[in-house]
Structure 1
Amino acid sequence: MSRLRRIRAILGVAGSQFRYDPGRTALAVVGIAVAVLATTVLAGVGVGVLATGEAQFDAADRDLWVTGGPVQFQPGTVGGIENTLVDAHTVAAELNERDDVQTAVPMAFQSVYVSPDGEDFETYVGAGAPARGPSVTITEGQEFSSEDVHYANGSYDGPMTHEMVIDRQTANRFNVSVGDTLYAGGTIATARQHEFRIVGISPTYSRFLGTPTVTMHLSELQEVSGTTAADRATFITVDLQDGANPEAVKAELEAEYPDYEVRTNDEQIRAILGDQAVVIASAVSLLVLSVAGGLALTLNVLLSVIYQQRREFAVLRAIGWSPWTVVGTTTAWASLLGLTGSVLGVAAAIPVTAGLNHLITAVVGFDGLVRATPEVLAGGFALGVVVSLVGALGISVLVARYSSTSVPGR
């Protein structure tokens, strides 16, 4: 019974401390909430950066990626990029004839000049890809009305459809919609000769690339960027038939096409991430920084508040409270601060994350780069509570050493 009464007394005093100075309590709670919020958001950014690349490739839903090696940037040339896979249409057609291949689609990405009036041009990424089929999401308008007819079995003398699909950011930037037109080409002179009609709005390729994108048929992008001679593409995506083994098909294709690189979806993700060591290091640094910053900020808040109350704790010792009873009181009070601050911090992290994602999407095109996953939220909450508890326990042991004759200010 004596122990129960002691616990009730500890909790009573801790609750009184929590209510006694609402201003100081509010500042402490806000300080811990900010620490938890910062930790959660930074950790969410770190997790999001690491997960975004994998998510983009998973969304592409392809089994194999055939490339001609690393894409080469060529400043000063038309398009600014040398796509290293040649004879793209021919290789894709040969792959489509295999029994274990469902579809093989060549795609290219080039820098193009885009203008709504043929006068003021801006540089955009042009995607030469089929904006049609189940893997492409059309939010407004329609998909391409036909296949890539301009290629015409390699002669490039078929009719150009001059159809274009753009993303919402591009539509807003040029104040255009379905049915309007945009000029596009590898040079300004070429762009003025090619007016494309917008047939649809789609986020598919802009999400994959993480930048505003204008999409046209591959042969038409090659035509306006001057790459028809070698039939260049960035890669060929391969979707296998149900039951086909990607590793086995990969081995066969590597033997059949020794000049090309063939990767599974996981290998392509690792290859992309392997070239982005700085990005990965930044993401890991954010995770470490979020935890270290949260620890430092939470402990600093507790130290400040407990230091301000050292007189009150010394008085408790002076009236006969045992050191461990003072420790228990301080720990219970700080835990209450940590619990309240952690709840507020996690609650605030959800709208803050949504706002940051909206801003990031508007600026750079990546959707959901900050990931407030249940694990991240739980980690932020646990950090606030556990650090408050452990920190208060350690600090209160020092506070309890005040003797009844060492009350500050006496």
Structure 2
Amino acid sequence: MIALRGLAHNKFRTILSAAGIAIAVISIMLLGSTGSGLIRIGEKTLERSSMDMWLTGKTFDLKSQFAGGSEGKITDAHKLESRLLKNSNIDFAMPVLTEIVYAYKEGAEPKAVFGTGLEGTGGSFVSILQGEGLIGDSHYNSGLYNGPWKREILIDGRAAKLLDVTIGDTLHIGKTLTEARKQEFKVIGLTNSLSSFTTGPMIVLYLSELQEITGNHYYDSVNLVMLRLKDPSRAEETQKQLETQYPEYAVSTNLNLIKKIIRQNSPVLAGAFFIVVLAVLMGVLLAVNTVLLSLNERKNEAGILKVMGLSKWSIIRYLCFDGFLVCIAGGITGVLLSLPLSRVLNILIYRAVGFEDLVLIDNSFIYIGTAAAVITGLVTSLLAAMWINRINAAELLRSV
């Protein structure tokens, strides 16, 4: 009760300190859960793709995909596909091109969307929600791009909403606005199977047609080749074979690819970690500041207690418990607020990039957040105890 009366004496300072601890706990839980969610979604996406291995350029990263640059591109993709299929353990190979293109309905405003080029969408790799899939890429013809154009595309739910189109509609698509005005493609199907690979609206075209409209047909360039193995247990052996045969490319299993993407995006992760550290430091400083200011106001009381013969431990318990209470209250508040905030964050993330249930707060993050609040309370009490230990009761009372 004495500690509670001490906290109530300066409500604003107490609330500010508790808020600092709460923000620190919320930062730990939400940012930690977001990072964990990205890894979880990445693993699930790769598992759903039914692919076991990925062949990419050695500088492959997410940024070069979106920029549409030549970094990390694989050349002579169709010939490479044929050579890969000669490997006794490779059952299926699919070159994939990803480029940003402009798309719009006649009379509508052009939008930049994520274009993906595939040779076809048969099998279990791409599931069609409505309409038809892409079957047979006819424009590529034995090393030349002189076959007939089909001009058919698939869209995902985000692209359908952004471009206000449905099955049967026609879209202008091109690498530039000038080129897009001259080229029309018909929407024949809806799929969300590939949506987890990108944060933006996606359209799926035949590989050779996307290559030609983006200039990648000159060197038969793609971003990656996905591989399905006959015997996934031999993945490591197959990886070594391909690395020896194609030293200019990076060969990754699903787990390797996730690690590579995380490593290449480490500046973003480091920034998030830095935010958490700052939030924790801010909470600690606010809590320490509250306790020390409170003790400074009560230093005469501390001196009197020393003169009365009370032990240091008794004085510390009497005067320092309020700082520990502030930290615990802030920690509990942070944990309780993190749960509804995670739901709000999930809604915003889904609307922005289409990732569903990205932020799921695991019990481990609740324990970490709670532990951070308790440790902060103990550190605060320790610093307060050191401050009390330095009080010279005789000098303090003479100055009264």
Give the TM-score band, short-chain normalised.
0.7 to 0.9
After superposition, residues 243-258 of structure 1 pair within 5 angstroms as: 243-258=232-247
After superposition, residues 162-201 of structure 1 pair within 5 angstroms as: 162-168=152-158, 170-192=159-181, 193-197=183-187, 199-201=189-191
Kindly provide the amino acid, as one letter, of the partner of residue 190 in structure 2.
G
Task: Tell me the equivalent position of 2:343.
Answer: 354
Secondary structure at the counterpart of residue 281 of structure 2 = helix
Task: Tell me the equivalent position of 2:222.
Answer: 233
The alignment-based identity, stated in percent, is: 26
Task: Tell me the equivalent position of 1:144.
Answer: 133
Kept in 2, the 8 Å contact 1:28–1:302? The answer is no
TM-score (norm 1): 0.77
Q: Structure 1, residues 355-402: CA drift from partner, whole Å, max 9, x if none? A: 334434444556666664433332221111221123123314534647
TM-score (norm 2): 0.79
Q: CA deviation at 1:184?
A: 1.4
Q: Structure 1, residues 256-284: CA drift from partner, whole Å, max 9, x if none? A: 44554423334434444444453343244
Task: Tell me the equivalent position of 1:60.
Answer: 46
Task: Tell me the equivalent position of 1:104.
Answer: 93
Bigger mean CA deviation after superposition, 382-391 or 55-64:
55-64
Task: Tell me the equivalent position of 1:3.
Answer: none
Kept in 1, the 8 Å contact 2:57–2:224? The answer is yes
Secondary structure at the counterpart of residue 238 of structure 1 = strand
After superposition, residues 243-282 of structure 1 pair within 5 angstroms as: 243-282=232-271
* RMSD over aligned Cα atoms: 3.9
Q: CA deviation at 1:234?
A: 0.6
Secondary structure at the counterpart of residue 117 of structure 1 = coil
Q: Which runs of 5 or more structure 2 residues have no equivalent in the other structure?
A: none
Q: How many residues align?
A: 390
Task: Tell me the equivalent position of 1:328.
Answer: 317
Q: Does 1:209 find its partner at 2:198?
A: yes
Secondary structure at the counterpart of residue 197 of structure 1 = strand
Secondary structure at the counterpart of residue 70 of structure 1 = coil
Shift in alpha-carbon separation, 1:275–1:82, aligned structure 2, 3 A: closer
Task: Tell me the equivalent position of 2:381.
Answer: 392
Q: Does 1:304 find its partner at 2:304?
A: no
Kept in 2, the 8 Å contact 1:113–1:186? The answer is yes
Kept in 1, the 8 Å contact 2:73–2:222? The answer is yes
Q: CA deviation at 1:59?
A: 2.4
Shift in alpha-carbon separation, 1:210–1:131, aligned structure 2, 3 A: farther
Kept in 1, the 8 Å contact 2:24–2:276? The answer is no
Q: Structure 1, residues 210-267: CA drift from partner, whole Å, max 9, x if none? A: 3333222322322332433433211101122235422211222234445544233344
Q: Structure 1, residues 3-60: CA drift from partner, whole Å, max 9, x if none? A: xxxxxxxxxxxx3431576474585255224323334425643674587368526622
Find 2:114's aligned residue among 125, 128, 131: 125
Kept in 2, the 8 Å contact 1:167–1:214? The answer is no
Shift in alpha-carbon separation, 1:82–1:380, aligned structure 2, 3 A: closer
